[in-house]
């Protein structure tokens, strides 16, 4: 089984970290391929960058030349999952939805701890659109930019732990979702500080994607996510990529 894990920004080191996190939980026989968009922002922290990333992610996935069995969009609260589902015949899993749905198996209410405050509405909207907001106690911002997770790891741990404690003590969250693809390495520290289960969206998405592939399930093409109607696409950075057809490879393990 081969799963494409797609970073939504153009920072290669973050792609590598996300892919490493995914490999840590992948089953034997599952190959994780990390992809970085060839255009876009070095971090996604607002609507403009998110919509730009949606196009860039569709571009890099549909341009990938080898067979694959599933795609994970590794951006928290980002746009674009629906477009991928129209274009692809394989399962598409968004880490925002993967984390929240997993958290709901673990406690009555969950909270998301993310980066900047400006990203909170995007995450809230994504959870509402997915029907996962009813059991969300809160979405809290650590005040750190995405790139600061790498450049200031000690400060990142301190800020995320502080907001996670607030979520548990004030918002009555029983589970914490780490609200950024680059936060995977913080699970242990946040768990030790709060005493509650910590869900990383990338790792949750890997297990969900593997399960869907093994069950032989993928996106319904009857209505909402039917393939795009054939038409001339003007101005796409790589127009021929729209016609690319993913070919599932033989399942292993």
Q: State yes or no: pLDDT of 248 exceeds 60.
A: no
**Residue range 208-214: average pLDDT?**
98
Average pLDDT over the chain reads: 89
State pTM to two decimals. 0.89
Residues 165-192: tens digit of each pLDDT: 999 999 999 999 998 766 766 777 888 8
Compute the average pLDDT of residues 19-34. Answer: 96
For residue 154, is pLDDT > 80? no
Q: pLDDT > 90: what percent of the chain?
A: 72
| Least trusted range by pLDDT, from 12-16, 75-79, 102-106, 233-237 | 233-237
Tell me the average pLDDT across 75-86: 94
Q: Which parts of the chain fold into alpha helices (H)?
A: 12-25, 47-62, 81-87, 95-103, 120-129, 148-151, 153-169, 187-194, 201-214
Mean pLDDT for 54-72 is 96
Q: For the residues 190-204, what does the mean pLDDT come to?
A: 91
Give me the pLDDT at residue 237, please.
Answer: 56
CA–CA separation, 234 and 174 (whole Å): 48
**Residue 241 pLDDT > 80, yes or no?**
no
Q: Which of 9-13, 90-94, 205-209 has the lowest mean pLDDT?
A: 9-13
Query: CB–CB of 247/65 below 8 Å?
Result: no
Run of H or E residues at 177: strand 175-178
Give residue 225's pLDDT: 96
**At residue 73, what are phi and psi to the nearest 5 degrees?**
-90, 110
- For 84-137, the pLDDT digits (tens) are 999 999 999 999 999 999 999 999 999 999 988 999 999 999 999 999 999 999
Give the separation between CA 111 and CA 208, rounded to whole angstroms: 20
Confidence of residue 235 (pLDDT cuts 50, 70, 90): confident
Q: Report the pLDDT value the prediction gives residue 184, as an integer from 0 to 100.
A: 64
- Confidence band, pLDDT 50/70/90 cuts, at residue 143: confident
Residue 46 reports pLDDT greater than 70:
yes
Backbone dihedral region for residue 197 (phi beyond 0: left; psi -120 to 50: alpha; all else: beta)? beta
Low-confidence winner among 1-5, 175-179, 211-215 (lowest mean pLDDT) = 175-179
Q: Is the pLDDT of residue 213 over 50?
A: yes
* For residues 18-33, average pLDDT: 96
């Amino acid at each position: 089984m081969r799963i494409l894990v797609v970073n939504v920004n153009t920072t290669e080191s973050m792609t590598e970290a996300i892919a490493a996190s995914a490999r840590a939980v992948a089953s034997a026989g599952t190959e994780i391929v990390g992809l970085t968009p060839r255009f876009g922002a070095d971090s996604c922290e607002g609507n403009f960058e998110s919509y730009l990333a949606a196009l860039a992610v569709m571009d890099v996935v549909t341009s990938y030349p080898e067979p694959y069995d599933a795609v994970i969009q590794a951006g928290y609260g980002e746009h674009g999952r629906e477009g991928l589902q129209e274009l692809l015949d394989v399962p598409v899993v968004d880490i925002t939805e993967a984390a929240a749905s997993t958290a709901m198996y673990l406690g009555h209410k969950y909270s998301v701890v993310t980066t900047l405050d400006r990203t909170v509405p995007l995450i809230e909207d994504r959870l509402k659109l997915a029907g996962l907001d009813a059991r969300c106690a809160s979405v809290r911002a650590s005040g750190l930019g995405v790139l600061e997770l790498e450049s200031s790891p000690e400060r990142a741990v301190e800020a995320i732990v502080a907001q996670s404690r607030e979520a548990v003590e004030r918002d009555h969250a029983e589970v914490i979702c780490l609200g950024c693809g680059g936060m995977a390495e913080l699970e242990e520290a946040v768990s030790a500080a709060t005493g509650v289960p910590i869900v990383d969206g990338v790792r949750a998405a890997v297990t969900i994607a593997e399960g869907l592939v093994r069950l032989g399930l993928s996106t319904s093409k009857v209505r909402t996510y039917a393939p795009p109607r054939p038409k001339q696409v003007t101005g796409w950075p790589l127009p021929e990529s729209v016609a690319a057809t993913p070919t599932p490879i033989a399942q292993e393990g």
